[in-house]
Amino acid sequence: MVVGVVLLTIVGFSTYGYLFSAPTKPADANPEFIGQAQEFSYLVTDDLAFWVNKVVELTGEVSEITDDGILINGTIYCQFDDQTILKTITKNQRLTIKGKMVGFDELLMEIKLSQCIIP
Amino acid sequence: MALRIIFIVFALLSLPANGQKYFTRSGITEFEASEKAFEPIEAINESTTAIMDLSSGIIVSQVFMAGFQFKNALMQEHFNENYMESNQYPKATFKGKLDNFSLDDLKSNEPIPLSGMLTIKGVEKKIQTTVSITQDQSGLSLTGMFAVNPEDFNIKIPVIVQEKIADMVHINLNYQLVEKK
């Protein structure tokens, strides 16, 4: 009887947790790729669909700093949720970032990462 | 599809050199399809790319499905896998033009008519709406709202959840555009 109630509670809570949990933040996810930004660009050219929605950790040179993100190697745009971090970044610095790849932007010819952090 | 986008890019690039372009990489596109008394169905995308050519009033934009953030993980999964099939159709695009646009329109607060083609899941549909555009030192601010019917874009909603999802999906736009140098 008691075991039944305990089991039911556990199942109940885990179902509830599954149904109503918030999406995993890219910051907490294991990256699918860790390495040079340049190499990642080649991989994306090769198989774009595979990389969409994947969390990656890239190292490259900061070529531009904007209001809400940075451009790495001139071709990878990384958007930050916490924009105060941007003040600590300087142009031309080598940097490693972690974020979720959302797609290839054909209007600006850039790979786009969102919810980026500096790991 | 890819060819069409390349064509649009070239069309934009080949505009007169004096045509000032404004753009953003982080435009906000929100949608809402909630029915009263049920769990809210809404998501926000803060990485919409939009480009506007000031002289012609041409606007192109693109939004990645993977960039939509839901409060609920399961809802986000269903959105990508069942409804939008975002592996196959990773983005939605819009290409349109402000009707009879002139720079004076930026000074008045009147809504400006915008018409163009919206492509979702590879299906094109004509959209006619109005947007507000205001100008300040930092650039242009474009806001607007319109509604679409998921059925028009081959988005099938299972009977079992039909009453929880609104027939019309409301889409809100808020793009802060800066000059493209």
**Total domains, chain A:** 1
ipTM of this predicted structure = 0.77
Strand B123-136 versus strand B139-148 pairing type: antiparallel
Distance CA B168, CA A99 (A): 33
A1 lies in a domain? no
* Contact assessment for residue B43 and residue B172, using Cβ atoms and an 8 Å cutoff: no
Best residue of A44, A64, A105 to probe chain B, by most B CBs closer than 10 Å: A105
Q: What is the pLDDT of residue B3?
A: 59
Q: Tell me the range of A14-18, A33-37, B70-74 where mean pLDDT is highest.
A: A33-37
Mean pLDDT rounded to a whole number for chain A: 88
Mean pLDDT rounded to a whole number for chain B: 87
* Contact assessment for residue B178 and residue B170, using Cβ atoms and an 8 Å cutoff: no
DSSP letter for B80, please: I
| Cβ–Cβ contact B13 with A under 8 A | no
Domain ranges of chain B: 19-179
Please tell me the total number of residues recorded for chain B in this structure: 181
Residues of B in contact with A102 (CB under 8 A): 47, 64, 66-67
Q: Coil, strand or helix: which one is B114? A: strand
Residue predicted with more confidence, B109 or B80? B80
Q: What is the pLDDT of residue B16?
A: 47
Q: Tell me how many helices (H) and strands (E) chain B has.
A: 2, 9
A44 lies in a domain? yes
CATH code of the domain in which A97 resides: 2.40.50.140
CATH architecture of B19-179: Beta Barrel (2.40)
DSSP letter for B160, please: G
pLDDT (tens digit per residue) in B6-27: 666 555 555 444 578 999 999 9
pLDDT (tens digit per residue) in A61-95: 999 999 889 999 999 999 998 889 999 999 999 99
Report the residue from A53, A103, A107 with minimal CB separation from B60.
A107
- pTM for this model (two decimals): 0.81
**A57: containing domain:** 24-117
A32 lies in a domain? yes
